Structure 1
Amino acid sequence: MSAMSHPLLNVSIEQRLRETFAAIKENEALWILTDEHGCVMLTAEDEDGIPVWPDAGIASLWATDDWAHCEPLQISLADWYKKWVPGMQEDELLVMVCPVPGEEGEVLEPAEFAEQLS
């Protein structure tokens, strides 16, 4: 499947959110982008967050231009709950759910994101 034909492109934000949560639950994992400095962060409306995706294919769509050197990295839900959620809350970071080119995605508090997954 070519990147530009990903099924989560060209759907409403609501549908993308639903399908993202469903896929993360089903696979018990999510994907972030990383480079030599760690995970990629985005800023939306003066709030910093970590973008997450349901699979490597759609995460790779974000790896262009300034992020062309970034690689998708899979994180298990167990690790996400245990390490990432507390760390993000401590650092006051938000979760940016499945941004796609041209759209930032839904921005949620880590606890709210975790709740939607459980």
Structure 2
Amino acid sequence: MSDNNILKDFLVETKPTQVIWALQDKASEDWVVLDSPSFENTDVMPLWSNSVLAQQHCIDEWSGYVPCEISLADWFEFWVEDLNEDAVIIGINWQGDDAHLEMELSEFTQALAEIESLK
């Protein structure tokens, strides 16, 4: 699947729910952030458009993690600034080292802003 299609599918699935998914450690409440397989000296936070895709990764070294939802409102209010300060990029609908799209935080956040439902 092309990078453009990965992002498009992510946004189509996220728009009606207004929720994205990440993995959080059950005990420490830390979030999964790992070394980027594509960019040297860069951390990436994998995100998914639904809990089923996220749950598939709660194995091996992530077996102590659970999918946790992040509303788009919370993403914009709390997450963007912290991730930007840490220079973290985003892994979209992460599938591991084989198939993944990594984006700059600003590009990803702009794409989310275009589908956010303001209430």
How many pairs align?
A: 107
Partner of 2:66: 71
- What is the TM-score of this pair, normalised by structure 1? 0.82
Which of residues 35, 40, 50 is equivalent to 1:55?
50
Q: Distance in 2 between matches of 1:82 and 1:42?
A: 23
SS in 2 for 1:32: strand
1:17 Cα deviation (Å)? 2.3
Query: SS state of the match for residue 82, structure 1?
Result: helix
1:71-110 mapped onto 2 (5 Å cutoff): 71-103=66-98, 105-110=100-105
Mapped partners of 1:92, 1:102: distance in 2: 20
User: What stretches of structure 1 move > 4 A for 4+ residues in a row?
Assistant: none
- Which of 16, 21, 24 is 1:26 aligned to? 16
Q: Give the partner amino acid of 2:56.
A: L
What CA RMSD, in Å, does the superposition of the two structures yield over aligned residues? 1.5
Mapped contact 1:13–1:105 kept (Cα < 8 A): no
CA distance in 2, matches of 1:103, 1:31: 20
Cα 1:104–1:70 shift into 2, 3 Å: farther
> What TM-score, normalized by structure 2, do the two folds share?
0.82
Structure 1 unaligned runs (5+)? 1-11
Percent of aligned positions with the same letter in both sequences? 26
Tell me the amino acid that sits aligned with residue 94 of structure 1: I
Counterpart check, 1:39 vs 2:31: yes
Over residues 50-109 of structure 1, what are the superposed CA-to-partner deviations in whole Å (9 max), with x where a residue is unaligned? 110001100011111111111000010000011111110011111111111453521112
Identify unmatched segments of 5+ residues in structure 2.
115-119
